[in-house]
Chain A
């Protein structure tokens, strides 16, 4: 079942085309990522779907309907660069937003999900960047939504904080929620997503699971063996790697280093656009 259906979506700002006639669907209970570099049109697209912006052309259906108050009860949104009230505590912030919904989730449970139990009585302004982002995610969950939009949730976070937030996002899927994620971090999309839509210059240039995209556009896995000043590259299948390494050892080849190079979404993006993702 499709939770979101986007058809021929187009957004123009004067002569600039931010979103160029894109169509896609988001399935129920999946993590769907819109991946692309800054300026690709990801945020414009997600904000049109969330009802923050109007489209120039095209249609958006959420749960089969256009955005209305009823739909808003079923979605939770973390806008890009969201900052909450400076002088409210974490708990107060969540209580504030929960009152905006007819039905709301359990605040204690949400605080636990995002790992802010120890900081629940801390003022927002005293939190670190990672903790603030967790509050943002928590705020998007207070209405007990079926569909959660997270727009660049890990931008600006250090690797540890990013990993922590990934676990929170994985947990949302486990809890049966559909997650719509926008990101320009390839590894984030690859790690979290069931399906990824790669966006470039306002267009979706490819869509599918990370595995499918890599298999379709990425180069084969390679084993690179460095022997003195020489590099030997061997293309191989993933399941043949252990056997190949064992064979090299058995042959008694003296090597300095063995490196396994797997294709990733970065390579897919490079292959499709000729440009790097960052």
Chain B
């Protein structure tokens, strides 16, 4: 391997990139603008009121309680399986646990307390949720025992990670930027180099195709790490972001760079004109950007779109980054990374095989 050639190619690519104002805009300014705009819109705590309910009693009475809670329009009830640890869910959104023996207590007129898990840092949301709960409990008490307080609640505070929307959003923006930069970069390099006769020229030099592809990968990786660092810094400075940067983030970004560069190489094979290259890249980028949970959780989408989202590589990049940066769920993060890495290996292999410098 000619390291001198690879170093030269990376250096030239970086120079060509930082002298290109449009490239700088899309790599740095665009994601920063998105962070500032979306961060400002959603930093006021306007999230939907999601409440997790864990029904340990599974009785008519407990079902009635769940139904009454669900009837409140601005609350979205999500049920948790009784085998799960409710406190893990409570770190994310408020949660209510219906204890075992709930129905029996009502029948025998014994007071029974629901447990309301709250994050103390979300006072504004907590008071709203408490008022909804009090209203549902009051109504049930009235019907069951003529206003005698049979059903009550106790609060339990969960020391959550106190993450907010921006913490959710930033990993998505990193994933999106890696994807955009790698796909557009790869298509642009392949199509423009071909159009400008640079691929022909390189074919007549001693540089091997594998060395060229390798240098372009490293270049893409450098750009992606630079943009990730800038995005995280902006998130920390402007919105006090709490997401952390760790080894898994590096692995995910590296895998994602390979995966999306490979995708770009495959697309370039079918695009010959510079004008159509951007359209082809956009046709792949935009649906993935909006459907893969970049800006909002995919749970907010209809079921069929959620299924579709899970076949998109960007979904696993976003999930992997969130698991690594926010939830610190490294097992889930490793699983996401494995999926991306396998995908990267397949598309990169296909991309390398079908990228031919030779003319027909």
Contact = CB atoms under 8 A, between A and B. Distances in A.
Interface stretch (A1-9, A69-77, A211-219): A69-77
Interface in B197-232: 197-198, 200-208
Nearest to A73: B206
Contacts of A47: 200, 359
Interface residues of A, number: 34
A6 B203 CA distance: 20
Contacts of B360: 13, 53
A101 B206 contact: yes
A62 B238 CA distance: 63
Given A85-B16, A87-B16, A52 B204 contact: yes
A52 B199 CA distance: 9
B298 interface: no
Contacts of B12: 85, 88, 92, 96
A53 B358 contact: yes
Nearest to B357: A52
B16 A51 contact: no
Interface in A71-93: 72-73, 75, 77, 79-88, 92
Interface stretch (B1-9, B74-82, B95-103): B1-9
A275 to B, nearest CB: 27
A79 to B, nearest CB: 4
- The size bracket of the interface on B is 20 to 34
A102 interface: yes
A123 interface: yes
A245 B208 CA distance: 63
Contacts, number: 84
A115 B337 CA distance: 54
Contacts of A85: 12, 16, 198
Contact of B359 (A52, A69, A81, A99): A52
Contact of B206 (A69, A79, A86): A69
A87 B357 CA distance: 23
Interface in A214-257: none
B15 A87 contact: yes
Contacts of B2: 100
Contacts of A102: 206
Contacts of B358: 52-54
B196 A84 contact: yes
Contacts of A88: 12, 15-16
A154 B317 CA distance: 50
Contacts of A69: 206, 208
B73 interface: no
A87 B197 contact: no
24 contacts: A47-B200, A50-B203, A50-B204, A51-B203, A52-B203, A69-B206, A69-B208, A72-B205, A75-B204, A79-B201, A82-B197, A82-B198, A82-B200, A82-B201, A86-B16, A87-B15, A95-B8, A97-B205, A99-B4, A99-B5, A100-B202, A100-B207, A101-B206, A143-B205
Interface of B: 2, 4-5, 7-9, 11-12, 15-16, 19-20, 196-198, 200-208, 357-360
Given A72-B206, A100-B202, A139-B201, 13 more contacts: A13-B360, A53-B358, A54-B358, A69-B208, A82-B198, A82-B201, A92-B15, A96-B11, A97-B201, A99-B9, A100-B8, A100-B205, A123-B19
